[in-house]
Chain A
Amino acid sequence: MNTATKRMLTGSKALSEAIAQEMERDPRVFVMGEDVAGYGGIFGATEGLLNKFGPERVRDTPISETAFIGTAIGAAAEGLRPIAELMFVDFHGVCMDQIYNHMAKIHYMSGGNVKLPMVLMTAVGGGYDDAAQHSQTLYASFGHLPGMKVVAPSTPYDLKGMMTSAIREDNPVVFMFHKALQGLAWMDQIDESIGIVPEESYTVPLDKAKVVREGTDVTIVGVQMMTHAATRAADRLQAEGISAEVIDLRSIAPLDKDTILESVRKTHRLIVVDEDYLSYGMTAEVAAVVAEEALYELEAPIKRLAIPNVPIPYSSVLEKFVLPNADIIYDEVKRIISL
């Protein structure tokens, strides 16, 4: 078992392994979406599943997000445990009614009498010149709406463990995987898209943030790519004697307030970094939590770094300009440390 934990997997392989193990464990679990069968998912999340489980349980759908997400809802209400893939989170616009008026509300409107054990899996994120309709994360758009758990794992280990938890969860889970963290051969290769993943099945909770790097001078909260950017910034700061604590939210909703507050009470400074829009976003939510519950712990104003309320531009120079990165985080830490 210990040798298995040394095994390295990409994010996409970690995800597809979690789904495969749960499909073996529970015959009620099945997958549907666009290009999830023979293609294995545009971002590899369902690779190999068709061969293992066949077309009854790994279903290519028409380009009809309203129909197949609604179908997943109907099947979940009957006791199956569907995983529906919305190819890009940006496509939520054509099917949001099913997501937030039905998937998110039926349990509540039924007084808890109807359970919807389903996973809505979707690819998020930019940084690869795919422009405004294929590059968003939209963490906050989903996190804002009650009735869905919204998770966004940052490592292959968490991708597998949180997908396993999501499939076993009796509530609808919006499972956001970041394209750049899937470890796909046709994208920029980044170190964080590969990691140690145990072969055996395991779970990671859907409601717990994680301190990925301990520090004492400043807390940096991020998720997915911004967690990794924060960690890289923290490496540089370390060399200069500045100790940054980095929190990977992992879960957008519910928000793990305790982990954030505990950290801020230790470091007394907070930077929140987001690959989503600035206004009304995750950074605002985290900042508000700290302002409400730990304002007098702060020794400097909270700083938020996020996309400056513009659609994601196409041209690399433009896109790089609007996405927060390790250099910007580094600069901001230096600035607020000196306050």
Chain B
Amino acid sequence: MLSIEASQLKWMYETMVKIRYYEETMVQVYAEGKNPVFNIGAGPVPGEMHLAAGQEPAAVGICAHLTNDDTVTAPHRPHHHAIAKGVDLMKMTAEIFGKETGLGKGKGGHMHLFDPVAKFSCGGIVAAGVPHAVGAALAAKMQGKDYVAVAFIGEGAANAGAFHESLNLAAVWKLPVIVVIEDNAYGISVPKSASTAVPSNDVRGAAYGIPGAYVKDNDPLEMYRVSEEAVARARRGDGPSIIEIETYRYLGHFQGDPEVYRKKTEVPELHQRDPIVRLKNYMLAEGAATDSEISQMEEHAKAEVDAAYQFARDSAYPSPEAALDDVFEPVHTGVTAEVAATGQDS
């Protein structure tokens, strides 16, 4: 008997395929206009590009347990989290293209995606999203809701002050927040062994009196199981926890990264243990899906991604002067003119 429901396995599989195909498509699109000379500002998708091919298990394993009312914050490499959380793929892609139909009307870009409908946000400052998730968790608790918040970070971020301060605060206030650390082995170029005083960050939970779990070998099924417990714990009011997952970064830190810090054989070896292939084989072996269902899911995922890219390409750029809009929300109507009280001068 399956320990995970077939519907959940199928959702995870289709979402992982969608993420992988999204990132692989982005590799191609990002390269447009950047050959033969790489210019970071050229092409339909300019700027830095951090892709998450290979890191799908972290995102789907926990997002499978989240609802639309739960909040996710993500770092600079956010596409897999956004897709797994159900961010509007068309608006997200348009944002990455800098179009006016984008989530932020072209003001944010790939590292700064905000979808309040899906309750998703991300940002380009390492570890800075952790306290935002703590804030969402605090809001849930204060409003008597059983919503949880998940902050995704990389293993490098677990050495930043924001991570430690936030976990301490979340533990003191017993807030429903889970920090998922994606250990993709490198903080840009620096290996974990050179940056982190402990072999795995789950043990750092002890510093805050909270549980930590470590998921080995980029395993989506184990990530699902560990997350199930962490999310349930948060929902029932037992407080925060940490999950670290060993994951694979197939691509460079950013597109254009010469990757001089790792052996040429490393990524091909990681591909041998690809989590999408492993999940597919598992589902077929366990009878959770048939070959034709697998094919259908793959086609469906790819069609959705293709449509999103097409929407982004077809969308218009914002008018240049729109750069001046959206700094502030219009003044609240509750603020009335100064009361003409006598003696207002002291």
Contacts and interface: CB of A to CB of B under 8 A. Distances in A.
Interface of A: 2, 5-6, 30, 56-57, 59, 61-62, 64, 66-80, 82, 94, 97-98, 101-102, 106-115, 117, 146-147, 149, 155-157, 161, 165, 168-171, 192, 194-196, 198, 202-206, 208, 212
Task: Name the 8 nearest CB pairs between A and B, nearest first.
Answer: A74-B135, A195-B346, A70-B131, A111-B105, A67-B165, A110-B114, A78-B139, A202-B339
B327 interface: yes
Contacts of B332: 117, 168-170
Contacts of A73: 131-132, 135
B330 to A, nearest CB: 8
A70 B343 contact: no
Interface stretch (B24-32, B166-174, B181-189): B166-174
A155 B131 contact: no
A74 B128 contact: no
A212 B344 CA distance: 11
Interface string B88-118: 0000000000000011111110001011100
B335 A66 contact: no
Given A62-B165, A70-B128, A77-B116, A109 B104 contact: yes
B169 A109 contact: no
Contacts of A6: 343
B45 interface: no
B171 to A, nearest CB: 10
B138 A75 contact: yes
Contacts of B335: 165, 168-169, 203, 205-206
28 contacts: A6-B343, A61-B169, A62-B168, A62-B172, A66-B131, A67-B131, A67-B162, A67-B166, A70-B128, A70-B132, A71-B166, A73-B132, A75-B135, A77-B116, A77-B121, A77-B135, A78-B139, A102-B125, A106-B114, A109-B107, A110-B104, A110-B107, A157-B346, A170-B332, A171-B328, A202-B338, A203-B335, A212-B345
A108 B103 contact: no
A72 B139 contact: no
Given A62-B169, A208-B338, 4 more contacts: A109-B112, A147-B328, A198-B341, A202-B341
Contacts of B168: 62, 64, 67
Interface of B: 71, 73, 102-108, 112, 114-116, 121, 123, 125, 128, 130-140, 142-143, 149, 161-162, 165-166, 168-169, 172-173, 325-332, 334-339, 341-346
Given A64-B165, A114-B116, A78 B107 contact: no
Contacts of A203: 334-339
Nearest to A197: B346
A110 B88 CA distance: 14
A5 B135 contact: no
A64 B166 CA distance: 8
A71 B140 CA distance: 12
A212 B169 CA distance: 44
Given A5-B341, A155-B346, A168-B332, A113 B104 contact: yes
A202 B277 CA distance: 64
Nearest to A68: B169
B343 A71 contact: no
A198 B107 CA distance: 43
Nearest to A205: B338
| Interface of B: prevailing SS | loop
A115 B329 contact: yes
Nearest to B175: A71
A336 B172 CA distance: 59
Contacts of A75: 135-136, 138-139, 142
A170 B331 CA distance: 7
Contacts of A2: 342
Contact of A171 (B131, B162, B329, B336): B329
Nearest to A159: B346
A57 B344 CA distance: 30
A322 to B, nearest CB: 27
Nearest to B343: A196
Nearest to B104: A111
B136 A77 contact: yes
Contacts of B71: 74, 78
A168 B346 CA distance: 24
A204 B330 CA distance: 17
B134 A67 contact: yes
Contacts of B139: 74-75, 78-80
A69 B132 CA distance: 9
Contacts of B331: 169-170
Contact of A111 (B103, B134, B345): B103
B320 to A, nearest CB: 15
Nearest to A8: B346
Contact of A168 (B142, B325, B334): B334
A114 B121 contact: yes
Contacts of B334: 168, 203
B326 to A, nearest CB: 4
A327 B165 CA distance: 46
Contacts of B161: 66, 94
B268 to A, nearest CB: 37
Contacts of A192: 346
B136 A74 contact: yes
A192 B131 CA distance: 39
A78 B175 CA distance: 15
A56 B142 contact: yes
Contacts of B103: 110-111, 113
Contacts of A101: 123, 125, 128
Contacts of A102: 123, 125, 128, 132
Given A74-B136, A194-B346, A109 B108 contact: yes
A69 to B, nearest CB: 7
A157 B342 contact: no
A198 B169 contact: no
A30 to B, nearest CB: 7
